[in-house]
Amino acid sequence: MGVKLWMVFEAVAPSEEAVEGALEEHLETLESEEGVEMTEQETEEVSKVQNPHPDLEEGYSQVSEVKVDVGTFTKCINLVLHYGPTYVQVEGPDEYEMNLKESQESLQKVANTMQQYARQGLGGILVSKSEDNS
């Protein structure tokens, strides 16, 4: 394929039942993505944790590490934005050549996502022409 990624995912919830199966479903969806080949997957058992989140004194956590081969760098960006790994690392290749079209698509995907966040009030910057400057 193209780019090799190592990703870590963590599911945290107030109940053990809410965590069980959530990560498995998430990774099954990731694995079914076109242009993605999952080469390794290791999932830990669900464990009880203290203060996993500022609003949660006690909860349950499950961590999974996966390695995937991804067809394009643009697809890598899509995966990170859509699946939200806790951590991601590019493991290869040492060099990767990208043409202008793929570069543009990659940057535009990030720009589109930032605009979505900004419109939802979750960060980013929106600049609009004021009505006085018509």
- How would DSSP label each residue in 65-82? EEEEEES-HHHHHHHHHH
Domain CATH code at residue 78: 3.30.70
Q: Are 126 and 118 in contact (CB under 8 A)?
A: yes
pLDDT tens-place string over residues 85-129: 999 999 999 988 889 998 998 889 888 888 887 777 665 555 555
Q: 86 is written with which tokens?
A: 């806790």
Count how many domains the chain has.
1
pTM of the model: 0.77
Q: Is residue 104 part of a domain?
A: no
Q: 116 is written with which tokens?
A: 């979505």
Q: 37 is written with which tokens?
A: 């080949």
Q: For residues 58 and 87, which has the higher predicted lDDT (pLDDT)?
A: 87
Q: Is residue 129 part of a domain?
A: no
pLDDT tens-place string over residues 21-56: 888 899 999 999 999 999 999 999 999 888 777 777
Q: 110 is written with which tokens?
A: 């990030």
Q: Is residue 41 part of a domain?
A: yes
Q: Are strands 36-43 and 47-53 parallel, antiparallel or unpaired?
A: unpaired
Distances (CA, A) of 134 to 114, 125, 126, 129, 131: 26, 21, 18, 8, 6
Residue 17, CA atoms < 13 Å, CB-side half-sphere? 0
**What is the pLDDT at residue 131?**
57
Q: Is residue 62 part of a domain?
A: yes
Q: Is residue 49 part of a domain?
A: yes
Q: Is residue 11 part of a domain?
A: yes
Q: Is residue 116 part of a domain?
A: no
**What is the pLDDT at residue 51?**
78
State the residue range of the domain holding 32.
3-98
Q: Is residue 73 part of a domain?
A: yes
